[in-house]
């Protein structure tokens, strides 16, 4: 399938989403992979992960990047050789990237009931504004927001429950604010979210 959605958040930031409907062979077509990428794909046991990895390379191509323009530092964070900031996510049938002049993070999650059981592990004060209606979707936004912020923080060591508070929101808002608060690191980020079929897309800028 071609690109599922493009979001031009500003002149500085672009989000692109791919819906993975192709076969694995089809996803190999039209992209050139580095030797390291080929080795990584061969080491993946899951075809879902292989497809996610390859679809991200198609998303890069849509922004005139090639696989060789992307590299990872020792902490596992992706970077672009031209200095722009990038974040990557994929979940089942969706993958997405966000590229910006500023630090960014992105996450896609399937809306699943099991998130209710694990909520106490990552939700703190946010419980105060949650409602029973659409609880799964609200929790998925919170998880995706905190995951996005986690990807931004340069040093790791963050606890979702304590270091990444998310401000009050309603699903109809489509945006809120999130914070990274750890030691001397204290910064606010704009959080944007929207539904994608039975998934939730969240990104932080």
CATH of the domain at 136: 3.90.470
pLDDT, residue 1, reads 57
pLDDT, residue 144, reads 98
Q: State the chain's mean pLDDT as an integer.
A: 95
Chosen domain end from 41, 65, 100: 100
Task: Give the number of domains in the chain.
Answer: 2
Residue 31 and residue 117 in one domain: no
pLDDT, residue 75, reads 84
Residue spans of the chain under pLDDT 70: 1
Residue 79 and residue 154 in one domain: no
Tell me the Cα Rg of the chain. 17
pLDDT, residue 74, reads 85
Query: Could you give phi then psi for residue 131, rounded to 5 degrees?
Result: -120, 155
Residue 164 and residue 186 in one domain: yes
Residue 44 and residue 84 in one domain: yes
Chosen domain end from 52, 72, 100: 100
Tell me the whole-structure pTM to 2 decimals.
Answer: 0.95
What is d(CA 78, CA 74) in angstroms, rounded to the nearest whole number?
Answer: 10
Chosen domain end from 75, 100, 125: 100
Residue 62 and residue 149 in one domain: no
Give me the numbers of helices (H) and strands (E) for the chain, helices first please: 6, 10
With a CB cutoff of 8 Å and minimum separation 6, the contacts of 148 are 87, 104, 105, 106, 107, 178, 191, 202, 203, 204
pLDDT, residue 181, reads 94
Give the structural domain span for 11.
3-100
């Amino acid at each position: 399938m071609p690109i599922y959605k493009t979001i031009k958040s500003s002149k500085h930031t672009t989000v692109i989403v791919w819906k993975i409907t192709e076969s694995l062979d089809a996803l190999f077509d039209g992209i050139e992979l580095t030797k390291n990428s080929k080795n990584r794909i061969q080491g993946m046991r899951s075809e879902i992960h292989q497809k996610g990895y390859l679809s991200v390379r198609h998303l890069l191509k849509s922004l005139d990047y090639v696989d060789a323009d992307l590299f990872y530092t020792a902490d596992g964070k992706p970077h672009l050789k031209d200095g722009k900031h990038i974040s990557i996510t994929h979940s089942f049938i969706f993958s997405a990237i966000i590229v910006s002049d500023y630090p960014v993070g992105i996450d896609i999650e399937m809306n699943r009931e099991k998130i209710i059981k694990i909520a106490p592990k990552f939700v703190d004060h946010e419980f105060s504004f949650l409602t029973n209606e659409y609880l799964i979707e609200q929790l998925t936004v919170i998880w995706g927001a905190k995951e996005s912020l986690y990807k931004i923080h340069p040093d790791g060591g963050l606890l979702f429950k304590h270091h990444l508070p998310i401000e009050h929101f309603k699903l109809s808002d489509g945006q809120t604010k999130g914070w990274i608060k750890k030691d001397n690191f204290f910064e606010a980020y704009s959080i944007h979210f929207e539904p994608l079929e039975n998934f939730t897309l969240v990104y932080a800028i």
